[in-house]
């Protein structure tokens, strides 16, 4: 059986190694040739490539200046049930921007430089905890909506999202802006609503009446508590043994006073945010937009021009070679 096994001779192994060596050498020679041809190509076309570089950088710098824009954000709170009103007003402004109606934006909306305003939108800031805080009906609504799908979809649904307290008003400008030129005019436009001004007036009036009544209630409770205190001091001075009934209404009175005081504190805080129909809470302006190509045209265009030129020359060379082959065979 051993006579039928293939025999490996040292000469065959040497031939295999020589072939591998030749292939490696040939591979590196091809690389050197391609490298040389590439250098030769750039040397021969140095003037054209230099022109493409200069034109690309110049045009890129021009486009970079034109393409730079800034994101601006204002956190607002729509009061007195004005959420839908707020969203409709922002949609109106956005439609006027798309139409290029600078007359409306300047004369009606009050934007100082309407041509610099490139877009505007408003989105709710999801805060489920505030949405359901002390509001059992809202919690039941979220539960009901979540039964038919996932909780995330229920939270982001328009029915719930527009009822969140805070909303993000975002707008884009192509130049640096400031509050006087854009934010304040926008807020003035949004707050110019006679219907909601009447609601604002009555709401604040009702809160002030409740606060006066609460102050009266607190004073009355203090009188009652002082009466208990004086009676307790009288018992302490006497030599009689007195037993207090734990079921007296003293604890209920103290709890009522605490609840009324907390209510007064809430009213004072709420009044701070009720001075406007659409209350601005904070603003962040002039955040430069860092998109994929924004501000990078001066690098992209020169490379693009040179690659296009190289591809064009390769196509011409390929076409010529194929034409010569066609003539040779014909």
Q: What is the phi/psi pair of residue 254, to 5°?
A: -65, -40
* Closest alpha carbon to 132 in 114, 147, 144: 144
pTM of whole model > 0.75?
no
Q: What pLDDT was estimated at residue 223?
A: 85
Please give the radius of gyration of the chain, using alpha carbons only, rounded to the nearest integer: 40
CB 79 within 8 A of CB 200: yes
Q: Any residues with CB less than 8 A from the CB of 196 and at least 6 apart, and which?
A: 79, 80, 82, 85, 277
Q: Taking the alpha carbons of 83, 89, 92, 93 in that order, is the dihedral positive or negative? A: negative
Tokens of 202: 């009555």
Cβ(310)–Cβ(65) below 8 Å = no
* Reduced 3-state DSSP string for 9-76: CHHHHHHHHHHHHHHHHHHHHHHHHHHHHHHHHHHHCHHHHHHHHHHHHHHHHHHHHHHCCEEEEEEE
Tens digit of each residue's pLDDT, the chain (330 residues): 444 545 555 555 556 667 777 777 777 778 878 788 778 778 888 888 888 888 888 887 777 676 678 899 999 999 998 999 999 999 999 999 999 999 999 999 889 889 989 899 999 887 665 655 555 555 555 555 555 655 555 555 556 667 788 899 999 998 888 899 899 999 999 999 999 999 999 999 999 999 999 999 999 888 887 877 666 555 555 555 444 444 456 788 888 889 999 999 999 999 998 999 999 999 999 988 776 566 677 778 888 888 888 888 888 877 787 777 777 666
- CA-based nearest residue to 130, from 168, 94, 160: 160
pLDDT at 200: 94
Contact 55, 305 (CB under 8 A): yes
| The pLDDT of residue 15 | 60
Which helix (DSSP H) or strand (DSSP E) does residue 118 occupy? strand 117-124
- Within 190-296, strands assigned E span 278-288
Q: What are phi and psi of 131, to 5 degrees?
A: -65, -35
**Measured at the alpha carbon of residue 67, what is the angle toward residues 61 and 68, in degrees to the nearest 5?**
95
- Is residue 188 within 8 A of residue 276, CB to CB? The reply is no
Would you state the structure tokens that stand for residue 36, as one six-digit string?
């040389």
Residue 243 has a pLDDT of 46
DSSP 3-state of 221? helix
pLDDT of residue 131: 57
DSSP conformational letter for 180: I
- Smallest CA-to-CA distance from 270 within 74, 77, 75, 73 is with 77
Q: Which of 172, 91, 149, 157 is nearest to 124 (CA)?
A: 157
Q: Which residues contact 288 (CB under 8 A, 6 or more apart)?
A: 68, 70, 71, 295
């Amino acid at each position: 059986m051993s006579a039928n096994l293939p025999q490996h001779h040292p000469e065959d192994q040497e031939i295999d190694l020589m072939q591998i060596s030749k292939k490696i050498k040939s591979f590196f020679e091809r690389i050197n040739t391609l490298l040389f041809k590439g250098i030769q190509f750039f040397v021969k076309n140095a003037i054209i490539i230099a022109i493409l570089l200069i034109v690309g950088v110049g045009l890129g710098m021009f486009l970079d200046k034109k393409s730079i824009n800034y994101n601006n954000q204002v956190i607002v709170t729509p009061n007195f049930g004005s959420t839908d009103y707020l969203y409709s007003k922002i949609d109106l402004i956005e439609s006027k921007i798309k139409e290029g109606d600078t007359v409306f934006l300047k004369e009606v909306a009050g934007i100082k430089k309407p041509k610099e305003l490139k877009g505007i939108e408003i989105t709710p800031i999801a805060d489920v905890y505030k949405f359901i805080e002390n509001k059992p009906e809202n919690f039941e609504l979220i539960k009901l909506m979540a039964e038919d799908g996932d909780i995330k979809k229920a939270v982001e649904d328009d029915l719930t999202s527009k009822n969140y307290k805070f909303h993000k008003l975002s707008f884009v400008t192509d130049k640096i802006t400031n509050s006087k030129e854009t934010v304040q005019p926008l807020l003035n436009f949004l707050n110019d609503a006679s219907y909601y001004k009447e609601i604002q007036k009555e709401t604040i009036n009702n809160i002030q009446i409740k606060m006066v009544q609460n102050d009266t209630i607190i004073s009355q409770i203090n009188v009652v508590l002082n009466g208990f205190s004086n009676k307790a001091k009288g018992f302490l001075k006497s030599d009689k043994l007195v037993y207090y009934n734990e079921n007296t209404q003293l604890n209920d009175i103290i709890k009522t006073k605490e609840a009324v005081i907390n209510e007064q504190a809430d009213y004072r805080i709420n009044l701070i945010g009720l001075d406007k129909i659409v209350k601005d809470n904070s603003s962040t302006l002039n955040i430069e937009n860092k998109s994929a190509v924004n501000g990078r045209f001066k690098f992209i265009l020169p490379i693009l021009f040179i690659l296009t030129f190289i591809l064009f020359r390769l196509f011409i060379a390929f076409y010529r070679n194929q034409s010569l082959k066609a003539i040779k065979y014909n």
